[in-house]
């Protein structure tokens, strides 16, 4: 009887953590789609939808849900797949970053060419790519030390920097500002710049470019009019964030940054 209880305890805890984690993630995703809380569009995910100020309330739920899944069978399965990729000299974090970055850039491209007017529901492709790659990235970065390995700072600090910039965009967002990606690029120029001078140069160049866009937005620069029309500036913010993630992902696949650590399979 004692052995049975000893074997059942971890199973029950694992199952409970899985239920709580998946439930919290589902609640966060549901909150993203609730029409009751809205505000300025921060990041576009398609021509008709995106992340707005009210959706930031879902961030703590999503982070807590991902944290609860650590150590569960679902999380272990995801890490086994990632570990297999790493063993074949394929960096799963870099691949997730590149896929997510490409999806965010495609949001802008598809919106600019009105892809849905030519092919029905075409804008669902980048949204689906973004959702799958973001979920994979969250699981990978939940591994101990993974966020520090990828970005040089803890996960909470990474999210805080991005949200701080996006809140500035919430005030000036309709002018086409990209403060969220600007803040994040500047932070990564410091943290990842310590590892590589070339990485610092790339990230400082992106920071400078994004700062120019911010200044032009605040001064109502006429060359931003077309970008502002794309979902209230949300599309250009998605594209600039996408380019930043692409840059970090590509640098991880090259000697510029490389893969510093490995995926922990415990």
- pLDDT tens, 240-264? 999 999 999 999 988 777 655 544 4
Q: Ranked by mean pLDDT, which of 39-43, 75-79, 261-265 comes out on top?
A: 39-43
Is the confidence at residue 155, as pLDDT, over 90? no
Is the confidence at residue 111, as pLDDT, over 60? yes
Scanning 69-123, the segments in alpha helix (DSSP H) are 73-87, 92-112, 115-118
Q: Rounded CA gap, 143 and 75, in Å?
A: 9
pLDDT, tens digit (0-9, with 9 covering 90-100), for 174-207? 667 889 999 999 999 999 999 989 999 999 999 9
Is the confidence at residue 5, as pLDDT, over 50? no
In a 3-state reduction of DSSP, which class is residue 42? strand
pLDDT at 134: 84
Its pTM stands at 0.74
Is the confidence at residue 101, as pLDDT, over 90? yes
Query: Residue 6's pLDDT band (boundaries 50, 70, 90)?
Result: very low
CA distances from 53 to 26, 42, 77, 223 (A): 19, 7, 34, 26
Domain boundary assignment for the chain:
80-252
The secondary structure of residue 260, as a DSSP letter, is: -
CB environment 133-151: b (16+ within 10 A), e (fewer)? bbbbbbbbbbbeebbbbbb
Is the confidence at residue 86, as pLDDT, over 80? no
15 C-beta neighbours (distance < 10 Å), count: 12
pLDDT, tens digit (0-9, with 9 covering 90-100), for 55-75? 666 677 777 776 666 666 666
Q: What is the dihedral angle through the alpha carbons of 233, 250, 56, 30, rounded to the nearest 10 degrees?
A: 100
Within 8 A by CB and 6+ apart from 25, the residues are 61, 62, 65, 66, 69
E strands, 110-244, are none
Is the confidence at residue 265, as pLDDT, over 50? no
């Amino acid at each position: 009887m004692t052995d049975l209880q000893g074997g059942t305890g971890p199973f029950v805890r694992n199952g409970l953590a899985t239920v709580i984690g998946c439930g919290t993630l589902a609640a966060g995703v549901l909150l993203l789609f609730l029409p009751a809380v809205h505000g300025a569009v921060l990041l576009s995910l398609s021509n008709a939808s995106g992340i707005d100020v009210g959706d930031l309330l879902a961030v703590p739920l999503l982070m807590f849900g991902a944290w609860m899944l650590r150590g569960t069978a679902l999380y272990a399965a995801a890490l086994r797949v990632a570990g297999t990729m790493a063993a074949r000299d394929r960096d799963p974090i870099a691949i997730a970053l590149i896929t997510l970055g490409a999806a965010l850039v495609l949001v802008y491209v598809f919106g600019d060419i009105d892809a849905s007017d030519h092919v029905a529901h075409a804008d669902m492709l980048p949204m689906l790519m973004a959702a799958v790659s973001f979920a994979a990235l969250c699981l990978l970065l939940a591994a101990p030390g993974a966020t520090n390995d990828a970005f040089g700072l803890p996960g909470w600090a990474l999210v805080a920097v991005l949200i701080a910039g996006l809140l500035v965009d919430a005030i000036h967002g309709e002018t086409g500002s990209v403060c969220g990606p600007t803040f994040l690029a500047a932070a990564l120029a410091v943290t990842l710049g310590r590892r590589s001078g070339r990485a610092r140069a790339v990230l400082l160049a992106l920071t400078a470019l994004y700062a120019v866009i911010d200044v032009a937005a605040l001064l109502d620069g006429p060359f931003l009019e077309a970008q502002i029309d794309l979902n209230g500036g949300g599309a250009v913010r998605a594209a600039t964030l996408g380019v930043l993630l692409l840059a970090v992902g590509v640098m991880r696949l090259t000697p510029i940054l490389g893969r510093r650590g490995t995926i922990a399979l415990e």
